[in-house]
Structure formats: C-alpha cells, structure tokens
Amino acid sequence: MHHEQLRDLCLSLKGATEDIKWGNDLCFLIGDKMFCTTWLGNGPFQASFKVKDEEFEELIARPEIIPAAYLARYKWIHVKTANALSQKEWELLVRQSYALVKAGLTKKKQQEIG
C-alpha cells in the first residue's frame, strides 16, 4: 500500500471525500466524518482508521500497529508501515472503516449518500 493506492481505494467508496487537515494529513471522509487518514510527510507510509471493537486488541498486538493517538477510545488503529498488513487486509479494513463510520451517521445523512 502507498498513498496513491489508499487514495484510490478511499475515493472509490460512494460519497467519500478528501481533505488536508493539520497541515500534512490527508483525511478521507464520509458525511464529514473521517474514516481514514494518512500522513503525507517524509518517512514511511502510515495510516489510521477505525476497526471493529472485537478486532482492536488483536490488531494492536501486531508489531507495527498501535492505538491511534486521540482516537484509540473509538477503536482507531495507527499502522506504522505498509507491510504491517497484506494488500487484502488493507482493502478489507479500510472498507470496513468506511462502513462503520457511515453506520454512525444520521439516517438522513446516510440516505443523502445513498
């Protein structure tokens, strides 16, 4: 996974948008709520996203995955290197994050998105 792959994946999801926040973070949103972020600075590819409650502990037990700063209480993880997950896991977990965040939107907002 790298920035362009992540961007393509996130923006392929219905109603997803992107925004730069905090100076150097590319954030992907659904209904104005973040479902994935990646840091655009120098260094290795990194990303953060929401996971299911029951997957959180298992994922942060992996060497290159930690609780996401400020968002861990909402079951967000921070993946410190692209190799921490397989390509299939990246796709599954990012799509799942999108679905989890979308499910938390108001019914009206969900209907607007489709």
CATH classification of the domain holding 11: 3.90.1150.30
Question: Is residue 55, in this structure, part of any structural domain at all?
Answer: yes
Q: What is the pLDDT of residue 106?
A: 94
61 lies in which domain range? 3-103
pLDDT at 89: 97
Summarised one tens digit per residue, pLDDT across range 43-85 is 889 999 999 999 999 999 999 999 999 999 999 999 999 999 9
Average pLDDT, the chain: 95
Average pLDDT over residues 25-51: 94
Number of domains the chain is built from: 1
User: What size, in residues, is the chain?
Assistant: 114
Domain annotation covers residue 108: no
Give residue for tokens 């965040």.
101
In a domain, 70, yes or no: yes
Q: What is the pTM of this model?
A: 0.94
- Could you give the residue ranges of the DSSP H alpha helices within 1-114? 3-11, 53-60, 87-103, 107-113
Amino acid letter, residue 28:
F
The verdict on residue 111 lying in a domain is no
Domain assignment present for residue 35? The answer is yes
